[in-house]
Structure 1
């Protein structure tokens, strides 16, 4: 097996790599995923490839299951410091002017919000599953194209969920999470 580097061999640069892709060794961060799964990975399941179509639908189906269940877990517990930090970051995002550079900050805050709620379930498998979902969503959401209006909706919905969790209204918070994810899913359907 030969590994080609850009600009080597026939002088064709990256065209050479694309043309001779079958001879490349590509690092696969999900190799461990393959070893514990009986089915092959589907398109859209690799980090760095945007989730589209059916893969995106399945991702939302899965998130609806695990994130709502996380909130309803009998061991669910969020620290007051985490809630304060999330509230502060969401309020700052709401009050700041939206720029193209804001999308990275939005994604990281959003990913930490959903991962934090999953981790608060006290269930390591729910937390790991959400961590994987964040990896899959990373590039799609870093390139936010849904506008500042959707950012405001997302932040307000997160703040409402936090408020209910802080008050101990986990049933209501789970229903709000379901509504939030369903709304986000509908928005992404119109953009794909």
Structure 2
């Protein structure tokens, strides 16, 4: 039972007791209009306290639901920008393709990698801020359902780019790019799966009733 509900219950019990105490004198002797009016005033005050406590409980519950929905919605919006990770990997892949074709990586391809990385890091920062704001409205079970924590996405970011560059260089040296191609597919697939699972988790939380 919520604290406000307990307060309301106590108010009703106390009100019932006080009703007997207040009204007893009014009926024990000759009727006294003043006493009866005072008794009515006391009872009305007690009942008003009970109603106010119940209303406060309802308002707090509605406020929490509204705030929770708002923060999870913002978290989902921030998560949608994390698809930039795949674009970043693909930009690295295009640079490697130039090298596999025996060409130098053009400046615009290098600039694309830098720009996509910077946008991705900004998306990570925004996502972490939204996560910090929303996580206070999640219980432990709900939080555990979300694979795509900020740390999970950062770990993914740190995991593949250097390995892709190394696989690219190894393929150039050996003339066999199969390891590079396999690694690129694995990296992009893992990123897609984490992104899809994370957004789906937020959709589920937004649909939950509390």
Instruction: Please state which band the TM-score falls in when normalised by the shorter chain.
Output: 0.3 to 0.5
> Normalised by the size of structure 1, how large is the TM-score?
0.35
> Normalised by the size of structure 2, how large is the TM-score?
0.33
Q: Which has the larger radius of gyration?
A: 2
Comparing both structures, which one devotes a greater share of its residues to helix?
2
